[in-house]
Amino acid sequence: MTVLVPYRALLSMVARIFACRGVPEDRAAIAATALCHGDLTGVTSHGLVNLARLYLPLLDQGRADPRADMVVRTDLGACVFADARRTLGLWSASQAVELACARASRHGIGMVSLRGATHIGCAGHHAGRAVTHGMIGLIASNCGGQRIAPPPGGAAAMLGTNPLALACPAGDAHPFVLDMSTTVVPTGRVRAAAREGKPIPPGWLAAEDGSPVTDPAAFDRGEARLLWLGSDPETGAYKGFGLGLLVEVLGALLPGAALGAMSADGDRDDDIGVMALALAPDLLRAGFADDAAALFAAVRDWPAQDPAAPIVYPGWHEGERAARRRAQGVPVPDAVYGELTAAMERTTG
C-alpha cells in the first residue's frame, strides 16, 4: 500500500528533516530535491527509502558534516579540483554540476573533480541539472572505499556499483538521461526485491561457486555477490567491470578519493569521488539544439515490432512519470511514509 503525497509537500518535509540535522536551508532544499527525484521518477531504489537507512545515519554518526563548505583546491578555469569535506553528497554533487556548467558557459567545457563526498543519490538527477542550462552533463561517481562486487574470476569484492550518468537536451521532449550502475543492477534494486519478498532474475547475483542466486536477501546475508554488467565473462562481464574501473579512474583516482581496491575497510562508502562534466554545445557550433531534438524524435519514431510498445530512449518513461506525479502526487510506500512522519515528529518533538 502507498500514501499519495503532493510533490511540494514531500519536498518540504524532507528539506525540514535535513535542516533539523543542521543542514543549511538552501542546501536542505537542494538535497531534498535530489532525494525525492527517485520517487518522483520511479527510481525508488535511490529515493526516500534511503532517508532513514542511509542519509540520516550519515548525519547522526558524523560521517557527513551538515555545515561544511566545499573548498576549491585547484582552479584552472575550465577544470576545478575541489574537496567536498564530507558535505551531504545530495547537495555537493549538484553544486559540482552547477560549477561545471558555469565554467562551460565560458570555455565550452567545464569539469569539477571532487573528493571527500558522501552518497550522491541518483547520478542522473545531478547530470540532468546541466540540461536546464542547455548543456550535456556527465557524472562518474565511485563508492568511496566500499567494495561490493568482485572482478570476474575474483575471490573477493573489489569495487562499488560505480554509477555513470549522462544527460542531454532533447528539444521540447524529455531529456535523454542514461543513469546506470556498472554492475547488473544497483544494490538498491536487490534490497527492494528483498523487502517485497520477490525473487530476482538469474544473472543479478551469484554464489561463491558462480551458480545463480534468485533470493535477493542472500546478498545482505553475505551468501551472494553482485555481478557486473554482462554477468558472465562470456556475455560481457569484463565490459561491465571495465566500466566500473573507468568510473574509478575518472571519479576517484583523479581527485584522490578513496579507492575500493585499496581500501582498508571495504564496508563504508566514505570519501566518495565524483567527476562532474558539462559541455556547452552552442559555444562549439550552431544548430546543436535542433539536431538533438531531431535525433531523439527519430528514436521515438523508429518502427517498433509492437505498435503498442513504441520505441523510447532512457529518461523518457522517467520524464513521463515525473510529470504525472508532479500533478497528481507521489506514491510513497506505507513503511517509508511511516519513517518519514516519524522523522518529522522528531523535528518538532
Per residue in 216-266, pLDDT (tens digit) is 999 999 999 999 999 888 899 999 999 999 999 999 999 999 999 998 777
156-177 mean pLDDT: 97
Q: What is the pLDDT of residue 333?
A: 94
Terminal C-alpha separation, the chain: 27
Per residue in 269-312, pLDDT (tens digit) is 899 999 999 999 999 999 999 999 999 999 999 999 999 999 99
DSSP string, 98-156: HHHHHHHHHHSEEEEEEEEE-----HHHHHHTTGGGT-EEEEEE--TT---BPPTT-SS
Q: Which residues make beta-bridge pairs with 4?
A: 331
pTM over 0.85: yes
Q: Higher confidence at residue 268 or residue 306? A: 306
